[in-house]
C-alpha cells in the first residue's frame, strides 16, 4: 500500500462544477502540499498545510491531522483548471516529499 493515496485517479467535470480530490496518508508528517502539474510542464505549489483550511481564489484545501486526510476543492471549475493535481506529504526530519500518484482532471466547456 502506498504511503500517500489519492482519489480519484481520473476526473472529468463540466465547466462550473464543484470538484473534490481526496488524499490519505499513513506516515507522520510536518506538512502536506497540494501541487499542480500541466502536461509537459513543471510543478506549481498550490498549498502547504499543517492544519485546518486554506483558501486561494477558487481553490480550497483542508486537512484533518487526526484522520490523516486532506481534500482539495475547486469551486466553479474552468477548462483552464485541467491539469494533474498531486498530493505530497513532507517528512518532519528531512523535508523530503512523498507523493501521491496524482489525479488527472479534465474540465470540459
Partner 1 sequence: DTGVSQDPRHKITKRGQNVTFRCDPISEHNRLYWYRQTLGQGPEFLTYFQNEAQLEKSRLLSDRFSAERPKGSFSTLEIQRTEQGDSAMYLCASSFTGVISGYTFGSGTRLTVV
In the shown chain, the binding pattern of residues 2 to 41 toward partner 1, with x for contact by CB under 8 A and - for none, equals --x-------------------------xx-x-x----xx
Instruction: Identify any residues that bridge with 78 across adjacent strands, giving them in sequence order.
Output: none
- Taking phi over 0 as left and psi of -120 to 50 as alpha, with beta for the rest, 74 belongs to beta
Is 102 among the residues that bind partner 1 (CB under 8 A)?
yes
Number of residues engaging partner 1 in binding (CB under 8 A): 25
Q: Looking at 19-27, 61-69, 70-78, 97-105, which segment touches partner 1 (CB under 8 A)?
A: 97-105
Taking the CB of residue 101, how many other CB atoms lie within 10 A of it?
Answer: 14
Is 94 among the residues that bind partner 1 (CB under 8 A)?
yes
What is the C-alpha separation between 103 and 22, in angstroms, rounded? 9
Amino acid at each position: 500500500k502506498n504511503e500517500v493515496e489519492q482519489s480519484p485517479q481520473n476526473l472529468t467535470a463540466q465547466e462550473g462544477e464543484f470538484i473534490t480530490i481526496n488524499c490519505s496518508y499513513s506516515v507522520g508528517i510536518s506538512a502536506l502540499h497540494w501541487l499542480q502539474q500541466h502536461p509537459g510542464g513543471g510543478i506549481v505549489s498550490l498549498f502547504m498545510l499543517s492544519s485546518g483550511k486554506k483558501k486561494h481564489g477558487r481553490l480550497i484545501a483542508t486537512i484533518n491531522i487526526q484522520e490523516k486526510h486532506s481534500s482539495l476543492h475547486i469551486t466553479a471549475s474552468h477548462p483552464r483548471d485541467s491539469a494533474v493535481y498531486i498530493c505530497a506529504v513532507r517528512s518532519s526530519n528531512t523535508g523530503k516529499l512523498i507523493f501521491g500518484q496524482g489525479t488527472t482532471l479534465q474540465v470540459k466547456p
